[in-house]
Amino acid sequence: MRKKKYFTILELIMVITIIGILILLVTVRFNVFYSIKLQGAVKKLVQDIKYVQTVAITTKDNYALSFNTTEESYQAYKVSDGSLLKDPYTHQPLNVNFNNISQYQGIDISSVDFEGTSILQFNWRGTPLDGGGNILRREGRIVLSYQGINFTIVVSPQTASIIIQ
């Protein structure tokens, strides 16, 4: 006689529990990866903001970052003639499009607000200005998002100190 092998209810519950735990771990790990990807984009943008400010101070000229929330991009340029600033690492124009850089694909520039404009300028003193060249009276904000996770880059008026929320 042959014995029939059946799973007991206890074994079935244990297998389903283990599968559930594995799915939960995979989901949590992906959220960590999403956060890391977004943090990389935030760091890049903060470095670029500080670089543009430094160039404005050292050259004693106004420089700006212009953001395009539709194309998920920004570019840095000299305000007086519109010439693009070069990236210090690639020596190419500092024109970043998150959709065209594989490590940042899918990251959204959700909103930009510098006194109602999407342009952040710096004068020769490093003071942050809005798109019209007026000194910021309130904090400027850039919101980056990816897969439901948001980071806000806050630029303080006068000092241009940067806080990431």
Its CATH class, for the domain covering 9-164, is alpha beta
Q: How many CB atoms neighbour CB 114 within 10 A?
A: 26
As a whole-number percent, the residues of the chain with pLDDT over 90 amount to: 58
Assigned token pair, 162 = 């940067």
**156: helix, strand or coil:** coil
How many CA atoms lie within 13 Å of 42's alpha carbon, on the beta-carbon side?
24
- 99-149, pLDDT tens digit by residue? 998 888 889 999 999 999 999 999 999 999 999 989 999 999 999 999 888
Global pTM reads 0.79
H/E element holding 47? Answer: helix 9-59
- 50-86, pLDDT tens digit by residue? 999 999 999 999 999 999 999 999 999 999 999 999 9
